[in-house]
Amino acid sequence: MRSIASPFMVAPPAGTRIRTRLRLSAADEAVMWAAGEYLGGLAGADVAWRCRLGPAPDQRTVRKRTLTGGSSSRWAGSITRTSNDQWLRGMANLVDRRIALRRASSTIQRRLAVPVGQRQRRVRGYASQAERFAKQVRLQHLQAELAMVEGRLAAGRVSVCRGGRRLAKQRHTLKDAKLTEEQWRAHWRAERLFLVADGDAAYPLGNGTIMAHPEHRWCELKLPAPLLHLANRPGGRYRLACPVGFSHRGDEWAAQATTGAVRYDITFDPAKGRWYLHASWRLATVMPPSLEELRQHRALGVDLNVGHLACWVLDASGNPDRPTPHHPAGTGRAADQYLRRAAASGHHGGASPGR
């Protein structure tokens, strides 16, 4: 039987991320594509540099100095930071893959040790000789892949695919992915854009590269050095012609933009033909109450289901007191958002979506 783990408190979210649509003009789109593809090329060269270094020091100062001349110090900082994060994520993925391969190999080896059709304690042998032979072949493949993964980990060899390895593989299976070559190329081009600006509280509006004004509703970005001729604002900046604002958690974003750092990402969805601006920032650290403190009061038990929440009010002993129906209004994304926020906040009753 599975062991029951001890209860624990889940830490509150450390940050938040919101999104709004950018209704760009033709001129704005041309500038976004030019800047995103140029910076994407620099990001690709830098992540290749970082992967070649392997476990050696990341040389971020040297890499940033090299990129600064062709972009700016702020763009270079975002690019090198992203490359470092991608390399670390690649290493973590290799470690996870090694764990999975070891577990799979161990499971097959335990069952191979038991004769066909027999059982030794809790370990059951394979049902037939054909299945046993297939598993022996499978074990050889797993062990070969495990040796390869361990060799890559020892040498620090990490492969990073800008745009996503899954999307890259779809190029060879367009029929299964239900995509034409033109559609795939549109997705590939969009995923390899780089329009990411790290936040910095030392700059006005929390960012020195991409800035959005909560009150005046404008958004502008610092253009890289080769594209300064496209600027329509002083200092090599380009201001979008469309108004920009966040309806969801807009008050929180405005307060954060005027007092702290905000990171911005500009992305393009080729399926819908839409541009989006994402804003993210860190939340203040909040210490959750202890389990002992919570056990002194009534609590809300939530059972997550498809399309609705099943809630019970529990007494101090953990026994059900009364059921509380909790049905979201609407369907699709609004209902999903409602369920997530309700589960996270613990509200119950007649709350409406978005509250």
Residue 37 included in any domain? yes
Structure tokens at 165: 């390895």
Residue 258 included in any domain? yes
Which has more confidence, 353 or 233? 233
Mean pLDDT of 101-113: 95
Please write the tens of the pLDDT for every residue from 153-168: 998 889 899 999 999 9
Residues 314, 215 share a domain: no
Structure tokens at 264: 């911005």
Residue 221 included in any domain? yes
The domain in which residue 320 lies consists of: 291-345
Residues 194, 83 share a domain: yes
Identify the CA nearest to 43 among candidates 7, 84, 14: 84
Banded pLDDT at 351 (limits 50, 70, 90): very low
Residues 173, 200 share a domain: yes
Banded pLDDT at 326 (limits 50, 70, 90): low
Residues 310, 204 share a domain: no
Would the pLDDT of 327 be above 90? no
Which has more confidence, 225 or 350? 225
Angle at 203 between CA 202 and CA 209, to 5 degrees: 130
Structurally, the chain folds into a number of domains equal to 2
Please write the tens of the pLDDT for every residue from 137-196: 999 999 999 999 999 999 888 989 999 999 999 999 999 999 999 999 999 999 999 999
The pTM for the full model equals: 0.80
Quick one: 15 exposed, middle or buried, by C-beta within 10 A (0-12, 13-18, 19+)? exposed
Residues 330, 249 share a domain: no
The count of C-alpha atoms lying within 13 angstroms of the C-alpha of 35, restricted to the half-sphere facing its C-beta, is 32
Q: With the CA atoms of 96, 98, 103 and 108 taken in that order, what torsion angle do they form, in degrees rounded to the nearest 10?
A: 140
Residues 267, 307 share a domain: no
Would the pLDDT of 106 be above 50? yes
- The helix-helix angle for 73-112 and 26-53 (nearest 10°) equals 60
Please write the tens of the pLDDT for every residue from 235-293: 999 999 999 999 999 999 999 999 999 999 999 999 999 999 999 999 988 888 887 88
**Could you tell me which residues come within 8 angstroms of residue 298 by beta carbon, excluding any fewer than 6 positions away?**
313, 314, 315, 316, 321
Residue 112 included in any domain? no
- Backbone φ, ψ for residue 321 (5° rounding): -100, -55
Residue 22 included in any domain? yes
Q: Helices (DSSP H) in the chain: which residue ranges?
A: 26-53, 60-68, 73-112, 129-155, 165-170, 174-177, 181-191, 250-259, 291-294, 333-345
User: Quick one: how far is CA 6 from the chain centroid?
Assistant: 29
Residue 236 included in any domain? yes
Banded pLDDT at 346 (limits 50, 70, 90): very low
